Amino acid sequence: MTKTIGESSHNFFEELMRKLAEREAQEKAEWEALSETERQAILEENDRKIKEQEAKEKAEERERVIERWKKRGISKRYFDAEWDNWIADTPEKEKALRNAKNAWNTNLFFTGNNGTGKTHLAMCLAKDGATYRRLPDIFREVRSTYDNKAASDGDTENDIIEYYGECKLLVIDEIGRQNFKDFEMNLFFEIIDRRWNNILPTTIITNLSIDEFIKLYSTAILDRLRPIEINFNWESMRVEL
């Protein structure tokens, strides 16, 4: 009599289960035949391999995270910067920390001397997804498009302006007393203006006061931002190496 498809499948499944049971019994017998020392060595070797694989996967994930950080502007010096290790040991510092965490919802103006923790907080924002750039680096990035204008596949000036004008949160650092050209000043304004039109938050980091900023740059920039001013008016927080 010809077997039905159902019978053939049932027989195949039974044969498969029988072979698996035989294999399991054989492996159990081989394991029980080993001495305690041999068993322990195998267990330790398996444990070593598992830990090695876990360490490899952890290192690979760390490298992927670092690559994402670098694209956002996070430098090696700040790889360990976290919200929790920014020392908020005074009411003023606690207020600065609270305001910094609110950067996604409003424009901020970090002002204060070097070493007071402004960039540390900026890097924490970048780790949360913000884009961090030094203002001179943005200008150099645009200038490089002219140096490479023969290349058809490179970013254009407009591509760069569009990127900084549309990223979710832009943190611009190193805004000081540089002697910028009119073109660079106009570029700075254009980025801020585009972000204003897109209703996107911007954080400015500088050693300048708001009055000094207006004199050196443009009233129009701050008129669009109308940021919350955060004064980092304490001593340097940097640890001597």
Using one digit for the tens of pLDDT, what is the confidence trace for 143-165?
A: 888 776 544 556 788 999 999 99
In the predicted structure, residue 236 carries a pLDDT above the cut 70: yes
Helix (H, G, I), strand (E, B) or coil at 163: helix
CA-angle at 77, arms to 73 and 83, nearest 5°? 80
Q: Which residues of 204-237 are buried (b: 16+ CB within 10 A; e: fewer)?
A: bbbbbeeeebeebbbeebbebbebeebebebeee
Q: 147 versus 211: which is more confidently predicted?
A: 211
The secondary structure of 85-125, three-state, reads CCCCCCHHHHHHHHHHHCCCCCCEEEEECCCCCHHHHHHHH
Closest CA to 238 of 85, 90, 116: 116
Q: 9 versus 133: which is more confidently predicted?
A: 133
In the predicted structure, residue 176 carries a pLDDT above the cut 70: yes
In angstroms, the CA 100 to CA 107 distance is 10
> What value does the CA radius of gyration of the chain take, rounded to a whole number of Å?
30
Task: Check residue 164 and give its pLDDT.
Answer: 94
Task: Check residue 62 and give its pLDDT.
Answer: 76
CA distances from residue 20 to 7, 8, 9, 15, 201 in whole angstroms, order as listed = 20, 18, 16, 9, 62
**Residue 230, strand partner residues:** 110
Closest CA to 187 of 123, 118, 137, 147: 137
- CB atoms under 10 Å from CB of 122, counted, come to 26
Instruction: Note the pTM of the prediction, 2 decimals.
Output: 0.72
Task: Check residue 171 and give its pLDDT.
Answer: 96
Structure confidence by residue, pLDDT tens digits, 181-201: 888 889 999 999 999 999 999
Going across the sheet that includes 228-232, the strands are 131-134, 170-175, 202-206, 108-112, 228-232
Give the model's confidence band at 1: pLDDT under 50 very low, under 70 low, under 90 confident, else very high.
low
- Of 27-31, 70-74, 162-166, 219-223, give the range with the top mean pLDDT: 162-166
Task: Check residue 7 and give its pLDDT.
Answer: 66
